[in-house]
Amino acid sequence: MRVLKFGGSSLATPDRIRDVVRIVLDEARREPLIVVVSAFQGITNQLLDSARLAESGDRRYEQEWASIARRHRSAIDDLVGPRRGRRTRVAADALLADLHDALHGVQLLGHCPPRALDVVASFGERLSALIVAAYVHRFRPARFADAREFVITDDQFTRANVIFSRTNRASRRYFAPLLRGRRRVIPIVTGFIGSTVDGRTTTIGRNGSDYTGAIVGAAVGASVIEIWTDVDGVLSADPKAVPAAFVLPQISYEEAMELSYFGAKVLHSAAIAPAVAKGIPLLIKNTFNPAAPGTLISKSTGDQGHPAKGISSVGDLTLLTIRGLTMVGVPGIAERLFRALAARQVNVILISQASSEHTICFAVQTSDAAAAVQAIHDEFRFEFHNRLTAVDEKSGQMILAVVGEGMKGRPGVAGEVFGALGRNNINISAIAQGASERNISCVIDASHQVRALNAIHQAFFETRKSLALVIIGVGNIGGTLLQQLHDQHSYLRAQGFDVKVIGLANSKRYVLSADGIGLARWRETLMASRRRMDARALAGELARLELTNAALVDCTADASIVDAYPAFVDANLHIITPNKRANVLPWRRYSALMDLLRARRKHFLYEANVGAGLPIMSTLRDLIASGDEVAKVEGIFSGTLSYLFNTFDGRTPFSALVKDAHRMGLTEPDPRDDLSGQDVGRKLLILARQMGSQLDIQDVRVDSLVGVDDTAMQRRLERARSRGAVLRYVGVLEGDRARAEMREFPRDHPFAGTKGSDNIIAFTTKRYSRTPLVVQGPGAGADVTAMGVFSDILKLLHYLPQ
């Protein structure tokens, strides 16, 4: 025998009631059922409002009543039909007349005590069960079952306590004849209501229909209690905050209670207690998606390999810390504190005391904070007077709770929680873990709620790695990168990576969408945006999104974007860029940025700064990381100068070659920017800083080719040829000395064999001492530069914790 409970949202309209009844009839084919229903959606609130209006003498209670009457009468007409529904209509009209009289009585006496409120509230379930029973009866024998006949309570109106001994007996007596033999019917039970021993109507608190389901299920020994609601089951986290939240197939009673205590909305822990006591499983199902398997709540946790089952949070808290030397080793301090708080009816949500006993820290609802502080001042007035004790108050806090049976006896779970928060720059104010080890709770700043929930969810539940990108600069390199990301989307997914672009900007405007921007039409999306580009405004907006696993990809050469890097880092973004400007900032600004990145635990990746897509930076980083000693880095770092010297054979003047290269688009808009050698100097500085040097750009000696005439160049070439050598413009980094200059290389030297606009870089190290490690290939162009950025994105994905 099963008990099926349907909530108000499942009974909001006649169409939804039809869906509910379809489910009921389908299940009734298999085994006997008891169905428990709530009031139609919104009706309980309307009833309570009408009672309030009547109490205050406001005649608008009549309108509320009329609206309630209309809704139920129209449901009868719709579901049972005006002719066939005559008897139901008469019964409903009698109930509605009683409701009207009750409200009238309240209005006459100007008073609505809890007792009267329960009477008024009871009509919601009485009407809905009547109508659902009449509709089910069209297809199978069904009967309206008034829970006041068997749910027996005390007289604590509006929150009555169930008297289980009487209720269990009465329920068994009531249902036995209905569920047996050929005269079996489907009882449609009113949720939420009961009655006292002397027959006065009571209600059993909000979520009362779940409670009724559990009470009846436990009394008659149901095989399962199905709670049909409007979600697919118990989720691993609140989906409004954590988009990746998923339905948990199975959890234990204890996990369900811990999750519901910390804000999960599906079940109220008290409501399922009778089922828990009898070991009856509960199945959470979705009326709007009956095919979904739902969540089974039972004795077993049904381990799915996750130590944690869910993450929940309670907001709007204040953390209070009482501290003082007089507390150390003095028995009874905690007892005095909590007695004083209890006397003022302050509910303490979390307690944490350091073993030094110097402080006791506890969290309360912010609405209770003033009363708590007053209670402490009153209780410890002697200590305060003598300045022996102080109390600190920290508002705007929340508790984040990680719940799971699998956390018991499993080392490292707390480390995982705190590590995930730390990586996302979320400070923890207090920590509590119960001895059951089923729950780890920490108090954090409420403004980080979304980021914290996502960080923990990723750490515990998500096997895929996600990364959100904000790309500034959508010209040659940025545009090519977007195309590569679009083309490689399936590949990335297959590798377990979910990469989405959530922000795009050019110099004029930006667009932001936390759900991701479709890359097939990114240009149109950006063009349609009305947000004027302002890097700091964009960073501010990103900070409000409380992102985890996000990166800024700066594909500009714009100094103002670099100026805003700290704001992006503060917004919890890693930085990936081919833009060299940050790496060549004056040492003080550069080191401040590096310190900030370290403090915020953010990665800064810039492979494309040197050699575009060639693995120059990563090779150097790996050499250093593996303990090699780099003696010299030497190379042709400029694609433009590489082309000019590869082509310069004396037959065409050097200046004419520069003009040709400019015409072919191989130079900067002003070729002097290439000929000055400054770009090579900047690359040397980046490499030097990577190697731990504190050089500044003025420390790099750069020989400029600007102003060198054709005759002088011709003479240099001939002199080199006479010695069996070629000319190349190279950068050399040796110890703390960095210089960029034109040099001769013998014809058998690797630098002599370069073609086109190739870059070539040679690393001479302790390990690569006889033959240097050489990296060679095209070092410029949108495709290869974007690929360098792409490789940084992949690197970042690998760095992110699983």
Partner 1 sequence: MQITQREVRGVIILDLEGRLVLEDGVTPFVELMNALGHRGGTRILLNFEKVTYLDSAGVGAVAWKYVTVRKRNGDVKLLNLHPKSHTVLKTTKLLTVLESFESEDAAIDSFVDRDDDEDTNPIFT
| Structure-block tokens of residue 340 | 């004083």
CA distance 120 to 55: 12
Find tokens 């095989």 and name the residue.
223
Say whether residue 106 binds partner 1 (CB under 8 A): yes
Say whether residue 662 binds partner 1 (CB under 8 A): no
Among 25, 48, 492, 631, binds partner 1 (CB under 8 A): 48
Q: Could you say which of 5, 285, 602, 683 is catalytic? A: 683
Among 34, 39, 43, 116, binds partner 1 (CB under 8 A): 116
Nearer to partner 1, 12 or 48 (CB): 48
Say whether residue 161 binds partner 1 (CB under 8 A): no
> Near partner 1 by CB under 8 A, which window of 116-124, 222-230, 436-444, 524-532?
116-124
Nearer to partner 1, 203 or 572 (CB): 203
Question: Which H helix or E strand runs over 487?
Answer: helix 476-487
Say whether residue 119 binds partner 1 (CB under 8 A): yes
Say whether residue 121 binds partner 1 (CB under 8 A): yes
Q: Give yes or no for a contact between 556 and 472, defined as CB atoms under 8 angstroms apart.
A: yes
SS3 sequence of 515-528? CCCCHHHHHHHHHC
CB of 44 to partner 1, least distance (A): 8
| Structure-block tokens of residue 99 | 């409701």
Say whether residue 265 binds partner 1 (CB under 8 A): no
Distances (CA, A) of 694 to 313, 588, 687, 738: 46, 10, 11, 12
Please indicate whether residue 795 is annotated as part of the active site.
no
Say whether residue 314 binds partner 1 (CB under 8 A): no
How far is the first Cα of the chain from the last one, in angstroms, to the nearest whole number? Answer: 44
Say whether residue 489 binds partner 1 (CB under 8 A): no
Say whether residue 101 binds partner 1 (CB under 8 A): yes
CB of 117 to partner 1, least distance (A): 6
> Near partner 1 by CB under 8 A, which window of 108-116, 284-292, 306-314, 717-725?
108-116
Residue 443's CB is within 10 A of a number of other CB atoms, namely 26
Find tokens 């040679």 and name the residue.
762
Say whether residue 158 binds partner 1 (CB under 8 A): yes
Among 18, 22, 70, 111, binds partner 1 (CB under 8 A): 111
Nearer to partner 1, 158 or 359 (CB): 158
Residue 389: phi, psi to the nearest 5?
Answer: -135, 150
Q: Which parts of 29-85 fold into alpha helices (H)?
A: 43-55, 61-79
Distant-in-sequence contacts of 94-100, Cβ < 8 A, 24+ apart: 95/123, 95/126, 95/127, 95/130, 96/65, 96/68, 96/69, 96/72, 96/123, 96/127, 98/123, 99/47, 99/65, 99/68, 99/123, 100/65
Q: How many residues bind partner 1 (CB under 8 A)?
A: 26
CA distance 742 to 676: 11
Among 27, 41, 42, 104, binds partner 1 (CB under 8 A): 104
Buried b (16+ CB within 10 A) or exposed e, 35-48: bbbbbbbebbebbb
CB of 208 to partner 1, least distance (A): 9
Nearer to partner 1, 120 or 222 (CB): 120
Cβ within 8 Å of residue 284, ≥6 positions away: 226, 227, 229, 231, 233, 234, 266, 267, 294, 295, 297
Say whether residue 753 binds partner 1 (CB under 8 A): no
CB of 270 to partner 1, least distance (A): 13
Among 66, 94, 109, 343, binds partner 1 (CB under 8 A): 109
> Near partner 1 by CB under 8 A, which window of 95-103, 292-300, 333-341, 745-753?
95-103
Q: Find how far residue 619's CA is from the centre of its chain.
A: 35
Smallest CA-to-CA distance from 772 within 784, 782, 760 is with: 760
DSSP string for residues in 581-642? TGGGS-HHHHHHHHHHHHHTT--EE-GGGTTTTSSSHHHHHHHHHTT--EEEEEEE--HHHH
What mask, x for binding partner 1 by CB under 8 A, covers residues 185 to 214?
A: ------------------x-xx--------
Say whether residue 76 binds partner 1 (CB under 8 A): no
Q: Give yes or no for a contact between 337 and 377, defined as CB atoms under 8 angstroms apart.
A: no
Among 81, 110, 293, 496, binds partner 1 (CB under 8 A): 110
CB of 51 to partner 1, least distance (A): 9
Residues 505-544 that bind partner 1 (CB under 8 A): none
Buried b (16+ CB within 10 A) or exposed e, 76-96: bebbbeeeebeebbebbeebb
Say whether residue 308 binds partner 1 (CB under 8 A): no
Nearer to partner 1, 38 or 286 (CB): 38
CB of 238 to partner 1, least distance (A): 22
Nearer to partner 1, 202 or 352 (CB): 202
Say whether residue 102 binds partner 1 (CB under 8 A): yes
Q: Give yes or no for a contact between 729 and 681, defined as CB atoms under 8 angstroms apart.
A: no
- Residues that bind partner 1 in the complex, under the rule CB under 8 A: 48, 52, 98, 101-102, 104-106, 108-117, 119-121, 158-159, 203, 205-206
Catalytic positions, please? 683
